Every structure is written in structure tokens, then in C-alpha cells.
Amino acid sequence: MSAGPYNYSYIFKYIIIGDMGVGKSCLLHQFTEKKFMADCPHTIGVEFGTRIIEVAGQKIKLQIWDTAGQERFRAVTRSYYRGAAGALMVYDITRRSTYNHLSSWLTDTRNLTNPSTVIFLIGNKSDLEGQRDVTYEEAKKFAEENGLMFVEASAKTGDNVEEAFLETAKKIYQSIQDGRLDLNAAESGVQHNPSQPGRTNLQGVLSVQQGGKDSCSC
Amino acid sequence: MSTPEQLAIVQSKFTTGEIVVIAMEAMLVQDWLKTTRLIALVNKGSTNALVILLTSRTPPQVYSDLTIEKILPIDQDFQCDIGTDEEQKDVTDVYLNVTCRKSRTIFEMRPGITTTNLVSAIFQAIEVYQKNKNPTTDFLWIQKLTGSVRNLDSTNDRLLSAADPVIELESSDLVVSRRNIATGKSPIGTRESVVRYQMACKEDDYTYTKTLRIFIGTWNVNGQPPNAITLEQWLSSDEVPPDLYAIGFQELDLSKEAFLFNDTPREDEWRQVVAKSLHHKAEYEQVALVRLVGMMLIIFSQSSHLPHIKNICIDTVGTGIMGKMGNKGGVAVSCCIHNTSVCFVNAHLAAHCEEYERRNQDYADICARLNFQTYVPPKGFKDHDQIYWLGDLNYRITEMDAQTAKQLIADGNLAPVLALDQLEQQRRLSRVFVGFREAEIKFKPTYKYDPGTDNWDSSEKGRAPAWCDRVLWKGEPIASLTYQSHPELKISDHKPVSATFDSKVRVIDVTKYRKIHEELMKKLDKLENEFLPQVTVDTTEIIYETLRFDEPCAKELIVANTGQVPVKFEFIKKLDDTSYCKEWLSITPYTDFIEPGQKCDIKLEVCVDKRSAWKLNSGEDKLYDILVLHLVNGKDIFITVTGTYERSCFGCSIEALVHIPVPIREVPIGRIMELENNKNTSQDPYYVPKEIWLLVDRLYRHGIKTPGLFETQGLHSEILAIRDWLDNGSQDPMPGSVHSVAEALLLLLDSTAEPLVPYNLHRIGLSAATNYLQCKQVIMQLPEIRRTVFLYICAFLQELLTHTQDNGLDAKTLASLFGSFFLRDSPRSRDDRNQRSKSTQAICDRKKAAFVYHFLINDQSDFVGR
Ligand SMILES: Nc1nc2c(ncn2[C@@H]2O[C@H](COP(=O)(O)OP(=O)(O)OP(=O)(O)O)[C@@H](O)[C@H]2O)c(=O)[nH]1
Ligand SMILES: [Mg+2]
């Protein structure tokens, strides 16, 4: 079959959250374009990026929402948590304040997503070892206490960026296999027919069945 | 779907007694498209109906996400069967084929327990019907839901043509489902909005034109009944029968009853005479009728065109004082004829020779306020391909004395007189009817005659002749054929006028449409997922300098499509908000398409008016909002809007105003908020707010004998000057005419959070309306300040009424007007108005008037002393 627009089996929705300037947009850009943006403007709104990855032989389309970190937009960005399958929570290892705010970000995430949402903590700017303000151990402990996955990464060098996005996807995929994430629930929104408009369900996962009608890609 | 919460949302679209048995999501299959719908089985008594709803997001979150699209009564015409998709190997979806009134609808549904339940509920309903065989009258509740009589009345063949998928595609049925990405829905998929836009761009390729003969007529009948006359001389003087008639009347009924309560037997009398006098060579049917007080507009069409006239919708605009009284204004009908949208407006603009500015303002008000709700989103006046404007526009000739004018007219030399016609002059200055055209006037002025004759007005006033009655048009391609008056009809002091046109409308070529549509779908398949929409905005922070009450201020936001694909943007709601922006802000367009490389200027207009001012005064709201500009299938941009509001006495509560002894601009904002929240009130407040006293005093001294006081609209610019005068304080006399002062007084009363008689007393007040003693008791229950203000204004009105012979006022008119302010409906119930029947509203208005009436005709001196 030719590579039509539906050559993937699932769509996962991600959100990236965290204080302003921690490098959320750079992480997204590094992941989708494999490039670093040295002077990236503040995000005034919610950016949108997408990439198709492979987990256990399955093609998965990641649909990633990068939110504005500025405090004044906090009330508005809360609208975007719903239906996320994965949440990447980012702080800047060179600025302790961004780490101190994590508990408030975590509270929002827990309140506004569902229990099966995978939360991944990223300590960004690991290339700036000299300016480090938060130790790896401290953050690791915080992650364990709260049941989060965790890495330190650098949007500049690309270190661990790919890993963070992929590990999250694997975890979600596992949840589906385990049946913890029920795609066939009343509101699963699971999609079997590529000719229909797609939509993700409340778990932020959408499955697209292969085969069926030949998706024309002329 | 079908969780209890969601069922409750669907249920809220219906009233008690109408029970939503089951509801679920389904895909509506229309040849090339599948779009999401909600289908619900609704039960009332022993009857059932299948209701198809549009939802702006799935699942729906609130009542307003849902729009009823179609209702199929389960009666003898209703058939239903289920099937599966033959083409697909792995059969998964259930297909529900519904046939009703010969139109077939197919839904695709996910298999599962809900689907099974729905299907069995439908079959049960069919069985129930076959047992009961309910008469059609049992299904009348459906008529109310659709809001249209045509829908139920429609004959089989009319629905047959409506069932043509192509026609459906172009009708309002295919509404872009507003998806809210924030709720976690995928951006892939739905592309019907893009398709619709692209198809609109290619319209010329799949449509051809057809010429219709359109007859427009207007007549001010001066309150005369059509006793024993017919109108052939006016309506069918031509050889060729028109395809469509739009006939407007003004001053259909001059009685107080019609004026106050919009009730008149004349409507039907004239309608019948018109129907009888239409061209005899063709058969006609009424398409629409709309009336407001004395303004009536009827549309008739040749029967053969009826199936092609859709989306018929009416609206009215009253431009009397405070936009309340319907003695002046306009009535309008909007519809689509084939693929062309057409609007007819019948207007009666302000009278009096010198008042051309007021006429211009009336025109502007009508344009701005006309709103046709059957469209989603509602259509404004401007959003039509063709507009026909008729009516008694009342423009006069003031720069030539009547004698000279009459002589020139008698000599057949119209040109020098026409050159001084106010409408011609104002149009030349682009003050009114910009973009409209009018045919050359070759007939004598249509006003003013001695009734029953062709003689100029011989009364004492001896009014100068004028071309009051006019027909203008806008839009392409319309060819004017005739424009004439019909002096043979003599019962009025005006002569009727007619204009005929050959207008081209666009008709869809089904074969070509399908072909172009298919090509487009292929192209979109390719584009999808390859590109994401991309725009830049010129700013994300919009800051307004000083904003004043009722003074709109607009700023622009430029959105440029810097990406590869067409972008559809729209402003969307935030999580818990009910609207995409605060009520003091309006955004036009709030949604639109932008082609790559193109840009769109969005107008953001802030206007703090009577609905929002009080919230800013009390601190309940701030001039601050974050807008979410959403790109369909793409990112969102936040636009921050801020401004500084200069507080005004308008929007202040009576309770706060009596504690403010100085002009309000001298009072710090914090102090106003304090008073609005009843904190730190001063020791000795005024008995009535000084602003009310000043306005009343001005009227008392200068307006007590003015004819038409409280019936004539003020000028907006003057009302603003009065506002500044009150807010800043001044040694100069109060500016503006007494009419503007009167309107300012009403506006002050209308801008408070609650009306003078608070909402909690309305029910008991209205039920006591006939009994003076009980009404008095209600007034006794008012807080002291409100009681004093109420009695103070009533005392002033009583004073006005002692000068009836000069000002022509009567107690009923004043009671009706002030009743609507003293007992203003709550914003909620005003929204309900559309649902509330006209007659219920009229009863309510009468009661308000009756309530106030007591206090205008009875001596209040015992009261005031308290
Ligand atoms: N050295 C270094 N700089 C980084 C890294 N990631 C981001 N930056 C820089 O940090 C700044 C902020 O990065 P952004 O990606 O814009 O931050 P953000 O979290 O999206 O900020 P908001 O959009 O305001 O919420 C930019 O100047 C980046 O160049 C990193 O890994 N290493
Ligand atoms: Mg950013």
C-alpha cells in the first residue's frame, strides 16, 4: 500500500508545560525538526507540531501542543490539558524557581487530565552544567515521589530529547496493551475507517485501522 | 454519548413534556461527505420524533453547542431500516436509513449497545404510532421546535427537491462544526469548512444565471383601511407578470393600540387586497410577511419558484426613542433564491423636513441591527448578494419654496427640484445608502396630497411636495426596468410607488458541481497532513487608551497567512467561558478564511454600554480579556486586550449616585467601587441622584411643552455631550435638544445593574398591575431611595401630562414607555424573548404599562411625604 495520509495506527496527544523560558518550544523544535533555535521568541498561545514515530512496529502520530509558560496565560492554557495522553513537564536546571513551581504544574496536570495520562519530567538545558542550580538527585527524588518518569535533556545538543518523547509514547502504548487505557470505552472515539474525520478520545489516543479502503494518495 | 450529563444537555433543548429518550452521535452521510451529528429520539405524549442536531463540539458541553437541524415526526410517512456497508470487507459500521416525507437520510453509527438501544427505540416508536394513528394535530409541538410553519406544511415535492444532496450541501444544513481543539480533538479530518470555502470560490464554474422579474412596491397608506379598493393599477399594470413581489406599507394603522402593542386588524385586510391584486397571468404564493406597528412587508412569489426559495427569515428594527418604539424603523425579509442571497427592507424613516440627519441615523441603525437568526452564524444586512430597499424614507425638499416647486413640477420640469431632494444630496455626500443605486425619477412627488384627489395638500400647513417614497437597490446584476408612481390610488396622502427589475440569480448545475467537488476532494487529500496552517499577527497586545461610556472604539488586528495552505481562523471560547470574548468587545470577522500570502484585518471594537458599564463600576468585570485566536488544524494565538475605562454616572446604581455630591470624574475609582458595593456610604445622601434631578429639571424647564417629548429619538452625539456635561460638571447650560435629554434620562435608568423596580418584585408587581392599592404596596416595598426616585419621576410625568394640549402626550404612552424601563426585563428573560410568544410578551408589556399608569393618574401627594 502506498504511503497515504493514514499510514499510522494511533494518534497520541501530548502537551508540553512548564515556566516561561525553560525551553519547551526548543524541545518541540528539536524533536520535530532536529534543529536548535538559539533565539526563540516567547510562545504567545499554543504551538502545534506533529511527527510520526514507531513503537513496537506500530506507527504512531504524535500531536504535540506546546503551551505558553507566562504566568498571565496560565488560566487560558488550562483549557488545553483535556484529552492529553502524555504531558511533558519541563523545568530549567539553571533556574531553581522553575523547579520550585513544578508542584503547581503537577497539580494542574493531575486535576485536568485523566489518571492514565503519562507525565514525564524533563530537566532541560543539561548542556549548561556550569550554571546548574538544581541537582540531578534532587529532581530524581521528586520524580520518584510523584510517580513521574524523568530525564535531564538539552534542546541545544539534542541530548535525551528523542528519548523523552519516545519513552512517553512507549508507556502510553503499554497502557493500551495492558488494557489500562480502554479504547473501546463508550467515548473512545476509536477510528476504524480512515475516510472518516478522525478525532482523539478523552484519553488522547486515536487508533486508525490499517487496510480498509485504499487511501488514495495521488 | 448517552451518559446522564450529556443526555441532560440534549434534554435542555426541549421543554417539559418533551422527553429525550435516547441520544447518540452518528455520522450523517451525504454523497461525498460524512459529518458528525447527534440524533435523538424525543417523545411527547404518545408521539415520537427523530431529531437531528448539529453540535459545535463532540461531545456537547453546553446547551448552546447544539442546534436543531431537522425533525422527522414518526408518523405514517416515517420509514426506517438498518444495513451495513457492502463495500467494506470488515463490516463494522451500522447504517440507519431513514425515509421521511420522501427524503432519505443515511446515518453511519458505531456498533454497540447505544446503537442497538436507539434502533430498537425507533422501531418501538413506529409500532406505537401504528397502534395509535395519531392525528397530525398531535405533532404540532414539532412545529414550535422548528420555528417555522413551512417546515411542516411543506408538500412532498418541495421536500423532494430539498433532498437533492447538492442543494442540501449549499443550504445552511451544512454548518461547519466548530471544533474546539482545546477539548482534545484531533486536528485531522473535518475539512468541510475548507471545502465549502473552496467551492464558494469556484462558484462561477458550476453555476449559471437565471433572470427573475422582481416587482418592488411601497405605499404609505396613512392609516386608511383598504375599503372596497383593489390594487391592480399599482401591482399589475405591466404586461409581464413578475416572478417575485416585495410590497411594503407604512402607516398601516395609526391607532394607539397598534403603536403600543403591535396589534392590528389592518395586517390581514391589506394582505388580502394585495393577494387579490397580483398579476392575473401567474399564480402566486406568499413567501413571508413581517410587520412592526405600521410597517409591513409581504413577499409573494410565483408558485413555481417556491421550492428554490430557502432560508426565509424575517427581522424588525424599531428606531423610535431608545430603539423601543416601533413607529419608525424597518422590517426585512432575507432569503436565498437558488444560490443567491437576497434581502428586502421596508423602512419608514424619521419625519419632519429638517430632520435628514435623524433619517440618516435611522438608516444606519437599521443596517446595523438587522440580524437574521436562521443562518448559523446569523447573517447581517450586508451579507447579501442583493438588497432591495423600499419605503417612506421621508427625505424632503427644503431649499426651494413650495410654490416654485409646484410650478416647476406642473411644467414637467423635475430636474431643478430633484437636485434639491435631501436624499439625492445626502447620497452625493455619501452620508446614507452608500453603494445603493436608484433609478431616474420621472414621476411627480408622491407626497403630500389631499386624500381622494390629485391636488397638493391644501391644509393649513400646506406641506411642500416631496419624493418621500423610494426604491433603491444594491448588488449585481440587477437591471432597472421601470420606476413610477400610481396616482390612480388616492385614499392616502401619499401615492404608491413601484419599481421593476430584471435580476440575475445563480443556479447550480448539478453535474458540474459534482465534478468540481470531486476534484477538490482529491486535491485536499493530498494536501492534508503535508502542511500545517501558519499565520503571523501584527500584535498580540491590543491596548485601548481612554474608553468612555457608549462610545465605541475600534482597533485592528492584522492576521497574515504566512503558510502554504489556506487557513481558517476563529476565536474560540476558553474553558469555562460562555463566549469567546467579553460582552463589551465585538470582533468582526470572528472567523474567516485567509489564502496563502493574503491577510485579514480583524476589527476589535470595544464599547462599554448599558449592559457592561455597571459591571466595570462595581469591579465585577475589568477591561481585560485574553482572546484565543484558533487556526483550524493548527496552533492558537493569545491576544490580550486591555483598556482604561473612564467611569460615568451611566452604569452607576441609584444607591451609589446619591452618595456622590461632586461630578463623578472627580471621584477616585476605588471610591465608586466602594459605594457600588455599599461600603462607607456618606452621612447625608441626596434624595434623588443629582444626575436624574438635572435631567428632569432641564426637561421641566425646556421641554414640558415640546411635542413628541419621549417619543422622538435623541442624537447620539448630543447624548455623549450630555454625558460629559454630567460627568465633568460644568457652569454652562446642559447641551443637546430636549429629545436627547429625554433619551439620556432613559439611558441612565437603563444602564443600572437592576431596574428601578428590582427583579425580585417584578412578579408580584405584574400580577398586581390592575389594582392600584396593591401596586402602591409594591412601591412601598422598594428601598427608600428607589421609592423616592420612582415617585419623583412619576410626579414629573404627571406634570408633563398637565400640558397635554401642547406636548400631545398621553398617560398611556408614558406608562408604556416608562413601564418598560422601571420594570426592565432581566437579560436572561430578554434572551428568552424569542422563545416567548409575541402575545405573552405583549401581555407582560401591558401589565408593566398598567402598573405605572396608576401613578400617573392618581394623586401621589400622600405618598411623597413619607
Ligand atoms: N543552552 C540552552 N539554551 C536553551 C535550551 N533550550 C532552550 N534554550 C534557550 O532558552 C530560551 C527559551 O527557550 P524557549 O524554548 O523559547 O522557552 P519556552 O519554554 O518555550 O518559553 P515560553 O514560550 O515563554 O513559555 C531560548 O533563548 C532558547 O535558546 C537548552 O537546552 N540549552
Ligand atoms: Mg515557547
Give the CATH number, domain containing residue B43.
2.30.29.110
Give the CATH number, domain containing residue B280.
3.60.10.10
Confidence of residue A4 (pLDDT cuts 50, 70, 90): very low
Rounded mean pLDDT of B681-705?
93
Distance, CA of B15 to chain centre: 24
Strands (DSSP E) found in B85-148? 94-100, 103-109
Rounded mean pLDDT of B659-680?
91
Q: Specify whether B552 is located in the same domain as B630.
A: yes
Nearest CB partner across the interface for A83, out of B27, B184, B640: B184
Q: Specify whether B497 is located in the same domain as B430.
A: yes
Q: H or E element: which one contains B141?
A: helix B140-146
Q: Specify whether B67 is located in the same domain as B12.
A: yes
Q: Specify whether B168 is located in the same domain as B278.
A: no
Give the number of residues written for chain B. Answer: 866
* Least confident residue range of A23-27, A140-144, B295-299, B314-318: B314-318
Q: What is the three-state SS of A83-99?
A: CCCEEEEEEECCCHHHH
CB atoms within 10 A of CB B458: 11
Fold that domain A10-216 belongs to in CATH: Rossmann fold (3.40.50)
Number of domains chain B contains: 4
CA of A67 to the centre of ligand 2 (A): 7
Closest ligand relative to A124 C-alpha: 1
Per-residue model confidence (pLDDT) at position B327? 79
Per-residue model confidence (pLDDT) at position B92? 60
Q: What is the pLDDT of residues B77-135, one digit of tens each?
A: 888 877 654 444 444 677 788 887 767 788 888 777 777 788 888 888 888 888 888 88
Q: In what order do the strands lie in the sheet with B340-348?
A: B309-318, B329-337, B340-348, B386-392, B469-474
Most A-contacting residue of B188, B541, B630 (CB-CB within 10 A), to test interface: B188
Q: How far apart are CA B77 and CA B767, in angstroms?
A: 46
Per-residue model confidence (pLDDT) at position B830? 52
Per-residue model confidence (pLDDT) at position B76? 84
Q: Specify whether B418 is located in the same domain as B442.
A: yes
Query: Does residue B519 sit within a domain?
Result: no
Sign, Cα dihedral of A5, A8, A13, A17 = negative
Q: Specify whether B636 is located in the same domain as B570.
A: yes
Q: How far apart are CA B115 and CA B108, in angstroms?
A: 10
ipTM of predicted complex = 0.85
Query: Does residue B659 sit within a domain?
Result: no
Q: CA–CA distance from B299 to each of B146, B247, B333, B501 (Å)?
A: 21, 6, 8, 15
Give the CATH number, domain containing residue B725.
1.10.555.10
Q: Specify whether B191 is located in the same domain as B217.
A: no
Q: Among the three residues B163, B196, B229, which one is the final residue of a domain in this structure?
A: B196
Contact A199 B526 (CB under 8 A): no
Pair B81, B102: CB distance under 8 Å: no
Rounded mean pLDDT of A23-49?
91
Strand pairing report for B386-392 and B340-348: parallel
Q: Which residue bears the cell 436565498?
A: B336
Identify the DSSP state of B804. H
Query: Does residue B655 sit within a domain?
Result: no
Q: What is the pLDDT of residues B279-298, one digit of tens each?
A: 999 999 999 999 998 999 99
Ion ligand 2, residue ranges at CB < 5 A: A 24-25, 43
Q: How far apart are CA B393 and CA B470, in angstroms?
A: 7
Q: How far apart are CA B346 and CA B249, in angstroms?
A: 8
Q: Which residue bears the cell 405600521?
A: B294
Task: Find out whether the beta carbon of A29 lies less than 6 Å from any atom of ligand 1.
Answer: no
Contact A202 B93 (CB under 8 A): no
Q: Among the three residues B167, B196, B225, which one is the final residue of a domain in this structure?
A: B196
Q: Specify whether B620 is located in the same domain as B719.
A: no
Identify the DSSP state of B75. S
Rounded mean pLDDT of B830-840?
62
Residue B45, pLDDT above cutoff 90: no
Q: Specify whether B362 is located in the same domain as B464.
A: yes
Q: What is the pLDDT of residues B227-276, one digit of tens each?
A: 889 999 999 999 999 999 999 999 998 887 777 777 788 999 999 999 99
Nearest CB partner across the interface for B190, out of A45, A80, A197: A197
Q: Specify whether B317 is located in the same domain as B406.
A: yes
Pair B37, B65: CB distance under 8 Å: no
Pair A84, A13: CB distance under 8 Å: yes
Chains A, B: CB contacts within 8 A come to 108
pLDDT, chain A, mean: 81
CB atoms within 10 A of CB A9: 17
Q: Specify whether B295 is located in the same domain as B152.
A: no
pLDDT, chain B, mean: 85
Query: Does residue B656 sit within a domain?
Result: no
Most B-contacting residue of A20, A191, A193 (CB-CB within 10 A), to test interface: A193
| Amino acid (1-letter code) at residue B345 | V
Q: Specify whether B277 is located in the same domain as B396.
A: yes
Task: Find out whether the beta carbon of A40 lies less than 6 Å from any atom of ligand 1.
Answer: yes
Smallest CA-to-CA distance from B497 within B507, B506, B510, B488 is with B488
Determine which residue's CA is closest to atom 14 belonging to ligand 1: A23
Per-residue model confidence (pLDDT) at position A192? 27
Identify the DSSP state of A40. P
Rounded mean pLDDT of A197-201?
40
Strand pairing report for B636-645 and A86-92: unpaired
Rounded mean pLDDT of B398-411?
92
B828 contacts: CB under 8 Å, gap ≥ 6: none
Give the CATH number, domain containing residue B636.
2.60.40.10
Range of the domain at B89: 4-177+186-196
- Contact residues, chain A, for B1 at CB < 8 Å: 186-187
